[in-house]
Amino acid sequence: MTFQPTLPATFDALPNPRGGAVHAAETALADARRALEARRDCAGPLLHAAHALREAGWLSAHRFADTLLLVSPLALVANSDAANLDEGGAHRVASAALGDFRAALARHNLRELSCSPTLYARMHAMCQVLAPHTPGFTVSFEDYALGARPVPPATMRPQPAQRIAHMRARYEAALLPALKTQTAGSRAAAAWADAAFNEMDACLAELTGTDPYDFWRLASACGRALRASRHATGEADARRFYARCNLALADQARGMQLAPRSLVRSTLALLWRDYALFGAAAEDADHVEVLHDYGLTVDWHVAATQASEALWEEGASEQAGNVAAQRGDTRELGVLTLSAQAYEDFLQTADASMAALNEHARTASSPEKADPGAALQAGDAAYRVGAAACALGLGHVALLADALGLAWRRTAHARVTTPAVRSHVVVEAPDPRALEQGCEALRAMLLKTAAGVAPPDSSAALAALARAIERGGG
């Protein structure tokens, strides 16, 4: 995995100097912070912030603001005197969450807002405050990170019962020492854990099938990424991942051919997290390909040493300063304020990508006759629009473009069912009509963007694509 810079405690990723700003939300959060510090009602400013973030398509940030809104009354009840608040009080939780949220929002990095461990930890703390008042209220990391994104089903191909039993015995034998030694500090314990993780990685690799949507392919990539980023040990979500893979093996032994949807989503979110925050290097190409098959994109970084990363950070800071200095050279798209240069660059990228997408779409519109290469190129063109929109801050455009890219990926991987091919390995191509409607909706959004009008909410078109992508048995 690519080198990860050492950042301050409240930072999970670098600022995005060319990203758009939702100034209405930033101002509202500043007002909410002042109100909270003065022990006054801050619901109004938080509601304004949530509405602005929703309009911009910053859905994870919108969810965070909504949760802050729910917690805020609890921070002002009875124990309004700071001296009477215990260390885990609602006021302390709300104040810390609001502070980190404001800092993250000012970095204009949509991927950080979706995948930030710091923000998710604050979200989890707020859920704990709300739980006694709203039983069952919780937000998992995958739900926070993936939001409205469609996730295709993942299969578990039938294998001989004896082989599955043998693989599960091997995996379980390694799982217990790995979980036991995750917090151990001795060198011997660390070596023991490392050997156990090596064995589990080997099991996941051996279980992997040829289907691009084979669950063990996704799980194997996630395990390797967790270890490369040193998150495999000592992290609750990682421990849960390895334990749930053991349960999935038991499900496969009982004949289940689809991995549980919640497990697929949580595994995908863990795989995406560090790549979304820090980008990918050349050696991560296989993992990036897996992410593309599931509708997620990342930035590519070439920095691989502390010195080169420092230079990259310095350049980013310099660029941020230059962008900030050009205050008059901006564009307003609804609630989003954009650098004029970044806006023009995006339009050029989007224009070229849509031209390529339309060209490939014409040659690949019939799934039964589709050229997989043309469908893959159509998907890549949509992903380029999605990545560029994400960098600019056009959240609704980014979500729809990524979903369209995933739909074309599914089309590329689709196979025709024959008596010689069991149905469980068939990737069902999305309905061509859904692809056409998705492409038309994306084109309409980009035309509005080019005209200087805020693109509309993409939820209807996104929902139609999601139904086409997630239907069937994968």
pLDDT of residue 422: 43
- Which residue carries 């509309």 as its tokens? 456
| Helix runs in 329-458, H state only | 340-363, 372-392, 395-413, 432-450
User: If you ran DSSP here, which 8-state letter would residue 235 be given?
Assistant: -
pLDDT of residue 158: 86
pLDDT of residue 324: 47
In DSSP notation, 69-130 reads: HHHGGGGSSS--SGGG--TT-HHHHHHHHHHHHHHHHTTT-HHHHHH-HHHHHHHHHHHHHH
Question: Mean pLDDT per segment of 10 residues, for the chain of length 474 residues?
Answer: 44 82 97 93 96 96 96 75 51 94 94 94 94 86 94 92 92 86 60 85 93 95 88 75 94 93 96 92 93 94 53 52 57 95 93 86 60 87 95 96 95 60 60 89 95 90 92 53
- For 327-470, CATH gives 1.20.120.160
Q: Amino acid identity of 11?
A: F
The answer to whether 114 touches 104, Cβ cutoff 8 Å, is no
Domain boundary assignment for the chain? 23-139, 161-293, 327-470
> Which pTM does this prediction carry?
0.88
pLDDT of residue 366: 57
pLDDT of residue 259: 95
pLDDT of residue 5: 42
In DSSP notation, 14-25 reads: ---TTS-B-HHH
